[in-house]
Each structure stands twice: as C-alpha cells, then as structure tokens.
Amino acid sequence: MAKEKTLQDLFLDTLKDIYFAEKKILTALPKMAKAAASDELRAAFEKHEAETEQQVSRLEQVFAEIDETPKGKNCPAILGIIEEGQEIMKEYKVIPRSMPGCCRPPRRSSTTKSPATARSRLGQASSVLTRA
C-alpha cells in the first residue's frame, strides 16, 4: 500500500517544483537579454536574472532549514513558457544594436504580430514568474 502523503510531502514537492523552475529561468534569462532589441528590455532581463539568483539562494536556504538537498522536480509549465520564449526570439529576430538605422525591417501586415507585442508577451510572462 502506498504511503499517505502529508503536508510536509506537499511542501517539499512544491519547493522542488519552484526550485526547478527558477533554475531553468536562470539559464533562459541571459539568452533573452542577448536577444533583446532595446537596451531597456535587456536591462529588465538582467535585473530579473539578478532577482532570480537571489530567489534560488533563498530556496537553497529553505532546503537547508528542512535538512533536504536542493533538488528540482520536473516542471512542464516552466518548460512550456521557456519554449514559447525561444520561439518568440526566433520568430522576431531584429537588427543588432550595433547597426542602428542602417536598414529597416520590412513592414508587417496588420495580421502579423509585431516584435513589440511579442516582447510585451514575454515580459508579461517574466513578471508572472517573479511574483511566484
């Protein structure tokens, strides 16, 4: 017979889930900052990365307090968010900042998503994660 789950088990499972998500975010944020089309967006991703590093550190302190080894548990939700971010970065490649004004991207039809809209969606997803 399977062992009955306790609140402690739920807490530890949730902690592992959050730890996995934060570690995955830490690997994605530098790529997102590099792909950012504006200095303001790049700075926001870099700030988010620093905040996420602090969150990981706090999670590791919690693991230590409950005498557990920091270990992540696969979180399909964060993997999906990161995958969507990667798709957005591929779909909306822009002119590098080192070449401002040398040429303009083609005009987009009204049915095509703009890079600003994509970056906005990505920024919204990032802000949701920082509140978690």
Which CATH number covers residue 28?
1.20.1260.10
SS (H, E, C) 90-112: HHCCCCCCCCCCCCCCCCCCCCC
What pLDDT sits at residue 103?
Answer: 38
What pLDDT sits at residue 74?
Answer: 92
Mean per-residue pLDDT of the chain: 79
Report field, pTM of the whole predicted structure over 0.75? no
Q: What are the pLDDT digits (tens) for 77-89? A: 999 999 998 888 8
**Within the chain, which residues score under 50 in pLDDT?**
95-114, 128-130, 132
- In-domain check, residue 28: yes
Q: Is 36 exposed, middle or buried (0-12, 13-18, 19+ CB in 10 A)?
A: buried
- In-domain check, residue 67: yes
Instruction: Let me know: does 90 contact 57? Beta carbons within 8 Å.
Output: no
What pLDDT sits at residue 19?
Answer: 97
- In-domain check, residue 101: no
What pLDDT sits at residue 124?
Answer: 56
- In-domain check, residue 18: yes
Phi-psi region of 100 (alpha: psi -120 to 50; beta: other; left: phi over 0): beta
Count of structural domains within the chain: 1
What pLDDT sits at residue 119?
Answer: 53
- In-domain check, residue 103: no
Instruction: Let me know: does 16 contact 71? Beta carbons within 8 Å.
Output: yes
Taken in order 46, 48, 51, 56, the sign of the CA dihedral is: negative
State which residues form the domain around 83. 8-88+118-131
